[in-house]
Chains A and B, each alone.
Chain A
Amino acid sequence: MVFNSFIFLFFFVVVFFFYYFPLKGKTKAQNWLLLLSSYFFYGFADWKMIPLLLVVTIITFFLGTAIHKTTNPRKSSFLTILGVLLGIGLLVYFKYFNFFIDSFSTVLNSIGLKTNPQTFNIIMPLGISFFTFKFISYVIEIHREKIEPSRDFVAFSTYIAFFPTILSGPIDRPNNFIPQLQKKRSFNYDKVVDGCKLVLWGMFQKIVIADNLAGVIDKVWDDIPDQSASVLFVTAILYSIQIYTDFSGYSNMAIGIGKILGFDIAKNFNYPFFARNISEFWRKWHMSLTSWLTDYVFMPLNIKFRNLGPLGMILAIIINMVVVGMWHGASWTFVVFGLYHGLLFIPLILSGAFLKNRKLKPNKYGLPIFKDFSKMTGTFLLVTIGFVIFRADSIGQTWEYFSGIFNLSRGFLNYKGSEIGSAVIPLIFSVIMFILEWYYREIHYPLANLGINWYRPLRYAMYYAIIIAVFWYGGKEQQFIYFQF
């Protein structure tokens, strides 16, 4: 049940009605409703995995209480490690088991040992990479004494299974989300309108831009050897735009739906294509994942290696980025994607730019100064190279793609037989989106303020135009790219 479907709309209207009307002011009953509807939502996608989700939720809930209760620091560490291993164990079993068996047997075969590997038909539960990270941060935060364990099992389970975010994030932290479940939530017109606008903006990104680009890009990737250099180059750039609008569109819809229900969910994107270097990019891209990994992987490693100087920081960031890559799935392309980004940090660490967080200062016309603009373009191209590795099915295909870009034998500007022309309309919409993003870069999303001072009918005409565009291009119900992770 994707957000941009009529079945979800029906489901949500029912939840919304009961949530704000019969259950108005009854926080506990509202949480029960959220929990049951979240399990229904999750079960609708994958009912066989409900027992797993429930059992791990129960175990983590009791582990949290036990970690808090014990006065013995060793026992506290032991229980925390148990909780972390439970999360990692789930991920390893469901996501990486076959990958390890495969890679291991390849290594053995390469040194002449014959193996007959048996891979298993393991079905990965949807959203596992997202909800296991919630479990892990819950036990660590209790161990670090940053939060107290939740005493309310319904609230805790709702935090884990909250339907707007369970399938694809943002990965909300317990200290941000659980307290909100304890607060009174009554219908707040402004917040609901804000949420609706955010959902609409997300739909614009996903349906009007990402889904319209998907077909063109998939066709090129299905037939790389027949594409000319320029088609491959343009498609790589289009894919960067597609993955951004797909995932940030999804995130905006999730955050918007949360807002309509009275919640403030963690932000996931902060206009990443305006980043002037890779470090800035990762502070703006999939922020709920990167901040999670910064807290639990990069910082502990950075502290451990602190006496090694810049080398320690380089090691910490490379390990961290490989974990970022592997989090996406069991494939060598993701490992290389992470490693590639890790290596891009090295010049920043050595030059000291990694430690600086310089604010953007536009020129008198409100545009980026030339130096910033060229850095943004350079960063975008570096990121685009990374996304080619990310999109490829194998390292071989990545190689095939890059060599195609530099192979001029099929003509550089040969667009014959290519459908790249159909990307023009979504591309025009992307340009409009980027201009609005630049203009409204200080706020969460452009539509929040776009047109607020306009003549009312004009503003409504703009909202309806976006809605019509969404319906015009809708109906395909393309899966979200990040659902597979």
Chain B
Amino acid sequence: MTKDELLKQINTIFINTLDNEDVIVNETTTANDVEEWDSLTHIQLVVAIEKHFKIRFTSKEIQSWDNVGVMLECIQKKGI
């Protein structure tokens, strides 16, 4: 999957999980840029991404994401 396509799908997951239609994410987006994105909703995003792509992250990976870009790289590393 190309990065753009992946980003599009991730954006939809963000919109659905955070229950906010206006969320637009790019590779540099961090939790500080999205009001609803905090440490708790982060785990919900992880679960939604894992279900969507049928992959599994390690605890270390989940805690190391500083922005959406790092998250994307991590997903791509799993062969998506």
Q: Could you tell me which A residues sit within 8 Å of B by CB distance? A: 144-145, 294, 299-300, 302-304, 306-307, 354-355, 357
Give the most central of A294, A306, A357: most B CB within 10 Å.
A306
Task: Pick the residue among A144, A145, A294, A306 that contacts B39 (CB under 8 A).
Answer: A294
- Number of CB contacts from chain A to chain B under 8 A: 26
Q: Is residue B60 contacting chain A, with contact meaning CB distance below 8 A?
A: yes
B46 and A306 within 8 A (CB): yes
A456: min CB distance to chain B, Å: 40
Q: Is residue B47 contacting chain A, with contact meaning CB distance below 8 A?
A: yes
Task: Provide 23 A-B residue pairs closer than 8 Å at the C-beta atoms, listed in order of the A residue.
Answer: A144-B60, A144-B63, A144-B64, A294-B39, A299-B39, A299-B43, A299-B63, A300-B59, A302-B40, A302-B43, A303-B43, A303-B46, A303-B59, A303-B62, A303-B63, A304-B59, A306-B47, A307-B47, A354-B40, A355-B40, A355-B41, A355-B44, A357-B38
B35: min CB distance to chain A, Å: 8
* Known pairs A307-B47, A355-B41 / 18 extra A-B pairs, C-beta < 8 Å: A144-B60, A144-B63, A145-B64, A299-B39, A299-B43, A299-B63, A300-B59, A302-B40, A303-B43, A303-B62, A303-B63, A304-B59, A306-B43, A306-B47, A354-B40, A355-B40, A355-B44, A357-B38
Chain B residues whose C-beta falls within 8 Å of the C-beta of A355 in the assembled complex: 40-41, 44
Chain B residues whose C-beta falls within 8 Å of the C-beta of A145 in the assembled complex: 64
B49: min CB distance to chain A, Å: 11
Chain B residues whose C-beta falls within 8 Å of the C-beta of A304 in the assembled complex: 59
- By beta carbon, the residue of chain B nearest A352 is B19
- By beta carbon, the residue of chain A nearest B46 is A306
A297: min CB distance to chain B, Å: 13
How far, in angstroms, from A300 to B60 measured CA to CA in the complex?
9
Among B43-80, those with CB < 8 Å from A are 43-44, 46-47, 59-60, 62-64
- By beta carbon, the residue of chain B nearest A304 is B59
How far, in angstroms, from A144 to B61 measured CA to CA in the complex?
10
How far, in angstroms, from A78 to B60 measured CA to CA in the complex?
15
How far, in angstroms, from A357 to B38 measured CA to CA in the complex?
10
B9: min CB distance to chain A, Å: 20
Chain A residues whose C-beta falls within 8 Å of the C-beta of B59 in the assembled complex: 300, 303-304
Chain A residues whose C-beta falls within 8 Å of the C-beta of B44 in the assembled complex: 355
Chain A residues whose C-beta falls within 8 Å of the C-beta of B40 in the assembled complex: 302, 354-355
How far, in angstroms, from A144 to B62 measured CA to CA in the complex?
11
A173: min CB distance to chain B, Å: 15
- By beta carbon, the residue of chain A nearest B39 is A299
Chain A residues whose C-beta falls within 8 Å of the C-beta of B60 in the assembled complex: 144
How far, in angstroms, from A476 to B7 measured CA to CA in the complex?
63
How far, in angstroms, from A144 to B63 measured CA to CA in the complex?
8
